[in-house]
């Protein structure tokens, strides 16, 4: 009985019965609200950055274009990890690991270097490792601009990405989408 209910509400069934744009909009609304809301609640309870701006575009990819390679769990987890490492590496290279955020003190030449270096390196490494995930470009800037810099919080950011990715796997699979567990199989 419960299997029949789940099948009736799977995305592909709904797409066959209703206008595509409305179904995708509702799917994005519901799942974006649930996933980001749960991470924001976790952030509030733990007082750590389980919510940060680049999770928004990641959630959008997960729930609007889940079959694109950029939305795969592999690219998401690796992309954000690359962004985190490059952002912090750029801070270390420019001596800004203990500096206040650019939003408080303004942008100076070293901050320009850190931001440009972090984004350039993040993009290049995602291409080299075949792990393109555009929202990771925002993650690296969040770090290189000094918004989040504590090493323990950088780990929290990656854990948040993993939690959002796990939610996307569960939700997309329940919706009947052929969403990969890790990465799309090569044809």
How do the pLDDT tens digits run along the chain, 187 residues long?
455 545 555 766 766 776 689 989 999 999 999 999 999 999 999 999 999 999 999 999 999 999 999 999 999 999 999 999 999 999 999 999 999 999 999 999 999 999 999 999 999 999 999 999 999 999 999 999 999 999 999 999 999 999 999 999 999 999 999 999 999 765 4
Q: Report the pLDDT value the prediction gives residue 9, as an integer from 0 to 100.
A: 54
The reply to whether 180 falls in a domain is: no
Residue 182 lies in a domain: no
In a domain, 179, yes or no: no
Q: Is residue 22 part of a domain?
A: yes
Alpha carbon of residue 103 to chain centroid: 22
- Predicted confidence at residue 16, as pLDDT, reads 72
The HSE-up count of residue 114 (CA atoms within 13 Å, CB side) is 30
Q: Specify if 181 maps to a domain.
A: no
**Contact present, 58 and 133 (Cβ < 8 Å):** yes
- 185 in any annotated domain: no
8 A C-beta contact, residue 140 and residue 80: no
Q: What is the structure's pLDDT at 10?
A: 74
Q: Judge whether 10 lies within some domain.
A: yes
- Range(s) of the domain holding residue 14: 2-174
Task: Measure the CA–CA gap between 116 and 118, rounded to whole angstroms.
Answer: 6
pTM above 0.85, yes or no: yes
User: Which residue has tokens 């942008």?
Assistant: 107
Total number of domains constituting the chain: 1
Separation of alpha carbons 166 and 62, rounded Å: 11
Residue 102 to residue 113: CA distance in whole angstroms: 12
Distance set, CA 187 to CA 79, 97, 184 (Å): 23, 44, 9
Residues 6+ apart with CB under 8 A from 98: 149
């Amino acid at each position: 009985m419960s299997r029949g209910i789940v099948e009736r509400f799977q995305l592909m069934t709904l797409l066959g019965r209703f206008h595509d744009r409305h179904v995708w909009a509702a799917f994005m609304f519901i799942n974006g609200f649930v996933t980001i809301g749960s991470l924001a609640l976790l952030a509030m309870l733990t007082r750590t950055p389980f919510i940060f701006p680049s999770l928004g575009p990641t959630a959008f990819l997960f729930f609007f274009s889940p079959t694109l390679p950029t939305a795969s769990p592999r690219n998401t987890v690796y992309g954000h990890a690359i962004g985190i490492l490059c952002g912090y590496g750029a801070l270390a290279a420019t001596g800004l690991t203990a500096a206040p955020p650019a939003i408080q003190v303004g942008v100076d030449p070293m901050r320009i270097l850190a931001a440009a270096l972090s984004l350039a390196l993040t993009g290049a490494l995602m291409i080299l490792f075949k792990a393109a995930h555009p929202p990771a470009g925002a993650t690296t800037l969040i770090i290189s601009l000094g918004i989040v810099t504590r090493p323990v919080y950088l780990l929290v950011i990656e854990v948040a990405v993993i939690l959002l990715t796990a939610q996307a796997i569960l939700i997309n699979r329940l919706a009947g989408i052929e969403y990969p567990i890790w990465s799309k199989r090569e044809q």
